[in-house]
């Protein structure tokens, strides 16, 4: 099964499981007199929306390159992940705001029934399993969307655990303020995760490289080709899980075009042997000893 199909399958599984959890928690919170559990169910309903975003992005990504998008549609994943960060931020902000207001006003709730604890505990177990599988699947295919969803579900687990603790103490001690305080802490954590996801996708859209050690790997690969000299002005950017590489190398000016082409192929093969998920490599040939004063961008060997 290819990468896009695995993302689509994971999205449908996430939609199905979260739909069941949302319905059970909203209904359970209503039956067992717990607004906290109802709120947890609404959060699961939001997860259904995030999975639909993932599903739509996965279907966009399978489109072949065209004149309007000559590099393809892989960056739809970064855009979708950024939208997910907004969803996560909204949930966290909503939780923080409601918790602060309730604590400030001393809002009183009815004491929940024991069934609310059972519903929340089942939700935690199910989401633990789903989050583990989504994270494993996302890492195996280098999908930031699935990894973001797995992080979101882990936040949901923390949220549900907070609800579980709050509801349990409310039930045991006949007090209701604890779930407000725990909700505030959980909301702040969710805001932190949303910000980190937003920052990560912003770096990708700005052609940033998160692991700069990749430059040393590329220079090492190029230097292993005897006829390729002075690799410089190296640029690397990501298209989802794929790498776009541009660089300049110097060749003996007496070489024929065919000989230069053969060396270029050797350089490409050397780089692909050192790195996974290379989408394309663009090489600019220059005569040996060429100096251009206006080459102010890109990474040079002395920079690393």
* pLDDT in the model for residue 34: 72
Query: Which position has the token pair 């949220």?
Result: 159
> What is the per-residue DSSP string for 215-252?
HHHHHHHHHTSTT-EEEEEEEEEEETTEEEEEEEEEE-
Confidence class for position 294, pLDDT limits 50, 70, 90: confident
The CATH classification of domain 3-205, taken from the options 1.20.1300.10, 1.20.1510.10, 3.40.220.10, 1.10.3470.10: 1.20.1510.10
Of the candidates 263, 264, 257, 253, the one whose C-alpha atom is nearest the C-alpha of residue 289 is 253
* pLDDT in the model for residue 144: 73
Q: At what angle do helices 3-31 and 114-140 cross, to 10 degrees?
A: 170
CATH 1.20.1510.10 residue ranges for the chain: 3-205
Q: Which residues contact 121 (CB under 8 A, 6 or more apart)?
A: 164
Q: Taking a C-beta distance cutoff of 8 angstroms, is the pair 186, 157 a contact?
A: no
Of the candidates 154, 12, 144, 10, the one whose C-alpha atom is nearest the C-alpha of residue 79 is 144
Per-residue pLDDT of 61-103, as tens digits, reads 878 888 998 888 888 878 888 887 887 788 778 778 877 887 7
User: Is pLDDT above 60 for 233?
Assistant: yes
User: Is pLDDT above 80 for 265?
Assistant: yes
Q: Considering the entire predicted model, what is its pTM? A: 0.66
CATH 3.30.70.1350 residue ranges for the chain: 213-303
Structure tokens at 135: 């994270």
Per-residue pLDDT of 177-230, as tens digits, reads 666 676 677 778 778 878 888 888 888 888 888 778 899 999 999 999 989 999
CATH class of 213-303: alpha beta
């Amino acid at each position: 099964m290819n990468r896009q199909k695995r993302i689509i399958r994971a999205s449908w599984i996430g939609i199905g499981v979260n739909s069941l959890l949302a319905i059970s928690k909203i209904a359970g919170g209503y039956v067992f007199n717990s607004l906290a559990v109802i709120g947890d169910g609404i959060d699961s309903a939001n997860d259904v929306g995030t999975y639909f975003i993932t599903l739509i992005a996965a279907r966009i990504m399978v489109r072949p390159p065209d004149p309007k998008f000559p590099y393809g549609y892989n960056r739809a994943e970064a855009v979708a992940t950024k939208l997910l960060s907004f969803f996560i931020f909204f949930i966290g902000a909503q939780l923080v705001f409601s918790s602060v207001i309730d604590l400030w006003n001393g809002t009183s709730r009815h004491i929940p029934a024991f069934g609310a604890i059972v519903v929340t505990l089942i939700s935690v177990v199910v989401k633990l399993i789903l989050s583990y599988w989504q994270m494993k699947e996302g890492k195996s295919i280098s999908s930031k969307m699935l990894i973001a969803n797995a992080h979101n579900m882990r936040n949901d687990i923390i949220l549900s655990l907070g609800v579980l603790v709050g509801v349990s103490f409310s039930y045991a001690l006949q007090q209701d303020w604890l779930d407000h305080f725990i909700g505030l802490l959980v909301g702040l954590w969710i805001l932190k995760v949303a910000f980190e996801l937003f920052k990560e996708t912003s770096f990708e859209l700005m052609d940033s490289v998160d692991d700069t050690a990749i430059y040393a790997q590329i220079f090492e690969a190029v230097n292993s080709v005897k006829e390729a000299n002075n690799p410089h002005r190296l640029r690397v950017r990501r298209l989802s899980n794929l790498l776009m590489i541009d660089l300049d190398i110097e060749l003996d000016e007496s070489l024929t075009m065919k000989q230069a082409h053969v060396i270029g192929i050797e350089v490409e093969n050397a780089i692909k042997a050192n790195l996974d998920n290379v989408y394309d490599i663009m090489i600019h040939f220059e005569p040996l000893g060429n100096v251009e004063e206006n080459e102010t961008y890109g990474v040079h060997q002395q920079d690393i």
